[in-house]
Structure 1
Amino acid sequence: MLESNVIQYRGFHNIVENGEVVGFQVCVRSDYYRGIWLSQLRPGKLIVDGITYTNDQVIWEINGKEYTVSELAKASNDFWRITDVATLKVYQNGGLAQGFHNVSVRFAASCSYMPPFLDQFDENGDETSFNGGTYTREKMIIV
């Protein structure tokens, strides 16, 4: 079941492969009431404890399939439903330490009734002009 907040508590944990912690993940739900085609998604940044993870560091998993940000822009046949979560994965040795973390996620969607210049990010993931959301949850815990 989805939580009402965009950033989900469920699914926030380290990624373990072959017994080694290789990164961490956080789950988000779409903020757009109709769902969106993945090519409409405009990822911004993921910030955890003040550390910014840029688009080239974050892998989006939607509907069981992983995408880089550049792959999302070409995924015009894949749809992110409002009832599904997307998992944002960051691969870094050791993942995150156990304990509480502050998490912020920025993303937007390009919709037919919004002019395209309203939801643009620069190469650092900062909004040049922004028509999306910045979502923050404090004290999320990794055990």
Structure 2
Amino acid sequence: MLESQVIQYRGFHNIVENGQVVGFQVCVRSDYYRGVWLSQLRPGKVIVDGVTYPKEQVIWEINGKDYSVEELSRASKDFWRITDVATLKVYRKGGLAQGFHDVSVRFAASCSYMPPFLDVFDEDGDETSFNGGTYTRENMIIV
């Protein structure tokens, strides 16, 4: 069952491959009530405890498939349903320390009934749009 917050408590943990911690992941649900075609998704950065991971460093897993930012822009036949979570993977040697973390995720989507998505940037140089924003959740825990 999905939590009401965009950033989900479930799924926040370190990524272990071949016995080594190689990064961390956080799960998010779509903020758009209809779901979104992946080519409409405008991924942004992930911030954990004040450390910024640019969108190019974030891999989005949706429907069991991994996508880079570039791959998302071309995935016009793949759909992210409102009832599914996306797993955002950030590869960072050692992952995150055990304990509490503050997490922010930024993403948006262009919508078919809204004016075309424009290259509009905020004060940090991130793309902005009519649908989306920065979502923050404090005291996420990795055990």
Same fold, judged at TM 0.5 (above):
yes
Q: Which runs of 5+ in 1 are unaligned?
A: none
CA distance in 1, matches of 2:7, 2:125: 18
Spell out structure 1 runs of 4+ moving beyond 6 A.
none
Deviations 1:59-83 (A, max 9, x none): 0000000000010000000000000
**Number of matched residues?**
141
Change (3 A) 1:138 1:4: same
**Under a length normalisation based on structure 1, what TM-score does the superposition of the two structures give?**
0.92
Match of residue 57 from structure 2? 57
**One-letter identity of the residue aligned with 1:13:** H
Match of residue 72 from structure 1? 72
| Range with bigger deviation, 54-63 or 113-122 | 113-122
Deviation at 1:120, TM superposition (A): 4.2
CA distance in 2, matches of 1:77, 1:121: 27
Match of residue 101 from structure 1? 101
**Cα RMSD between the aligned structures?**
1.6
**Under a length normalisation based on structure 2, what TM-score does the superposition of the two structures give?**
0.92
Aligned 8 A contact 2:105 2:134 in 1:
yes
Deviation at 1:117, TM superposition (A): 4.0
CA distance in 2, matches of 1:103, 1:121: 22
Change (3 A) 1:117 1:81: closer
Q: Which runs of 5+ in 2 are unaligned?
A: none
**One-letter identity of the residue aligned with 1:16:** V
- 1:84-123 alignment runs, 5 A limit: 84-118=84-118, 120-121=120-121
CA distance in 2, matches of 1:117, 1:89: 26
